[in-house]
C-alpha cells in the first residue's frame, strides 16, 4: 500500500481544500514569492543570498540567523503534517533531502506545490552545491555565484590556518541517554568537520550516528570529546560526561577535555562552515594541550 493510500479521506479533503483556498499552484506565479524552508542549512543560505523576505515559514532546525526564529514554524523537518505546511500557503518549498514523511511529500506534490530538494552531504564542495541549488530555485543565480566564491575562499582560508603537530583524536558524543553512548562514525557531519579542523575521528568502521560499546570508547584513545551545545533535557554536564566509566579512562576523560559547539553551525555544512572549522580547530588546540 502506498504512503498516499494510507492517509485518511478526511486528510486528503483537507489538503485539497487548503490548496484551493491558498492558491498554491506554481503555475499561478512566474517567480516564487512565498517560500518555505525546510532545513537549517537551506535557511542560512536563503538569508545569505538576501532573499529572507520571501520566507513565510521554516522548520524547527532553522534557528539562524535570528530573524528566522521570528517566522512561523511548521514543525520538525522529518515529522511534517500536510495541513501545517499548506497553512502557510507556500508556492515553493526548498527542502533538505530527508524531509517528510514520504506520504506528506506525496500530498504536497498532489497539491501542486513545487519542491526543490537540496542534498545532505558533508564536504566543502557540498556547501557550494547547496548554494547553487538554492540560488537557482530563487532565481538568484548571480548572487549565488558570488556567495559560492566568497564561501569557498573562506573555507580554504580556514583550512589553511589549521595547524596541529599531531591530529588530536576527537570523539563526537551525540547523546548519553540511559548511559549508552551514541557517537559519530564515518560519513557524518561530525566526522567531516573534525577532519576539516585538523582532527581525527576517534571512532571509525561504521557509518552514521550509532550507539557504541563501552569497550570501543574506552580504547578509542580520544584526546577530546566533542558535543553539541545543547540545553534543557538534552544537555550533558561535564560531571555526567566524565563520570561515564568508558569516557573516564580515555585521555579526554583524564584531562576533562571537552568542546561544545552550536550544532547547526558545526554540522549544517552551510555558509558558516568556515567559521565552524576555525572555531573547532582553535578549541582543539587549547583542549589538546
Q: What integer pLDDT is reported at residue 7 of this predicted model?
A: 52
Same domain? For 173 and 242 the reply is yes
Residue 231's pLDDT band, with cuts at 50, 70 and 90, is: confident
With CA atoms as reference, report the closest residue to 58 among 40, 79, 83.
Answer: 40
Q: Is residue 216 part of a domain?
A: yes
Q: Is residue 2 part of a domain?
A: no
Same domain? For 147 and 178 the reply is no
Q: Is residue 277 part of a domain?
A: yes
Q: Is residue 162 part of a domain?
A: no
Residue range 81-137, pLDDT digits in tens: 999 999 999 999 999 999 999 999 999 999 999 999 999 999 999 999 999 999 999
Q: Are 202 and 222 in contact (CB under 8 A)?
A: yes
Q: What is the CATH number of the domain that holds 228?
A: 3.40.50.1980
Residue range 3-17, pLDDT digits in tens: 444 455 445 555 554
Q: What integer pLDDT is reported at residue 185 of this predicted model?
A: 97
* Rg of the chain (C-alpha set): 21
The DSSP bridge partners found for residue 58 are 37, 73
Sorted by sequence, the CB contacts under 8 Å of residue 64 that are 6+ apart come out as: 40, 43, 44, 264, 265, 272
pLDDT over 90 percentage in the chain = 84
Q: Are 118 and 134 in contact (CB under 8 A)?
A: yes
Tally of structural domains, the chain: 2
Same domain? For 50 and 141 the reply is yes
Same domain? For 126 and 69 the reply is yes
Same domain? For 13 and 153 the reply is yes
**Is the predicted pLDDT of residue 146 greater than 60, yes or no?**
yes
Model pTM?
0.89
Residue 248: give the domain boundaries.
Answer: 169-287
Q: What integer pLDDT is reported at residue 16 of this predicted model?
A: 53
Same domain? For 208 and 136 the reply is no
Same domain? For 176 and 268 the reply is yes
Burial (Cβ within 10 Å: 0-12, 13-18, ≥19) of residue 26: middle
Same domain? For 47 and 84 the reply is yes
Residue 165's pLDDT band, with cuts at 50, 70 and 90, is: confident
Same domain? For 254 and 148 the reply is no
Sorted by sequence, the CB contacts under 8 Å of residue 160 that are 6+ apart come out as: none
With CA atoms as reference, report the closest residue to 121 among 172, 191, 58.
Answer: 191
More confident residue, 226 or 28: 226
Q: What integer pLDDT is reported at residue 3 of this predicted model?
A: 47
Same domain? For 112 and 47 the reply is yes
Amino acid at each position: 500500500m502506498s504512503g498516499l493510500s494510507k492517509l485518511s479521506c478526511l486528510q486528503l479533503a483537507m489538503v485539497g481544500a487548503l490548496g484551493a483556498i491558498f492558491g498554491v499552484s506554481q503555475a499561478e506565479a512566474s517567480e516564487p514569492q512565498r517560500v518555505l524552508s525546510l532545513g537549517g542549512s537551506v535557511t542560512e543560505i536563503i538569508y545569505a543570498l538576501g532573499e529572507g523576505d520571501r520566507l513565510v515559514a521554516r522548520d524547527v532546525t532553522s534557528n539562524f540567523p535570528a530573524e528566522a526564529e521570528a517566522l512561523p514554524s511548521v514543525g520538525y523537518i522529518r515529522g511534517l503534517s500536510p495541513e501545517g505546511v499548506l497553512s502557510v500557503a507556500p508556492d515553493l518549498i526548498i527542502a533538505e533531502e530527508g524531509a517528510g514523511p514520504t506520504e506528506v511529500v506525496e500530498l504536497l506534490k498532489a497539491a501542486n506545490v513545487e519542491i526543490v530538494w537540496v542534498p545532505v552531504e558533508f564536504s566543502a564542495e557540498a556547501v557550494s552545491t547547496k548554494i547553487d541549488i538554492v540560488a537557482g530555485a530563487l532565481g538568484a543565480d548571480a548572487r549565488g555565484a558570488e556567495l559560492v566564491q566568497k564561501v569557498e575562499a573562506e573555507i580554504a582560508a580556514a583550512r589553511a590556518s589549521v595547524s596541529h603537530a599531531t591530529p588530536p583524536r576527537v570523539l563526537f558524543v551525540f547523546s548519553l541517554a540511559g548511559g549508552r553512548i551514541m557517537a559519530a562514525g564515518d560519513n557524518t557531519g561530525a566526522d567531516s568537520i573534525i577532519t576539516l579542523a585538523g582532527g581525527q575521528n576517534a571512532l571509525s568502521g561504521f557509518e552514521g550516528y550509532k550507539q557504541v560499546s563501552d569497550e570501543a570508547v574506552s580504547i578509542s584513545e580520544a584526546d577530546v570529546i566533542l558535543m553539541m551545545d545543547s540545553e534543557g533535557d538534552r544537555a550533558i554536564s561535564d560531571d555526567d560526561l566524565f563520570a561515564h566509566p568508558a569516557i573516564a579512562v580515555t585521555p579526554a576523560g583524564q584531562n576533562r577535555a571537552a568542546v561544545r559547539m552550536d550544532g547547526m553551525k558545526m554540522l549544517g555544512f552551510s555558509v558558516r562552515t568556515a567559521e565552524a572549522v576555525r572555531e573547532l580547530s582553535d578549541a582543539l588546540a587549547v583542549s589538546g594541550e
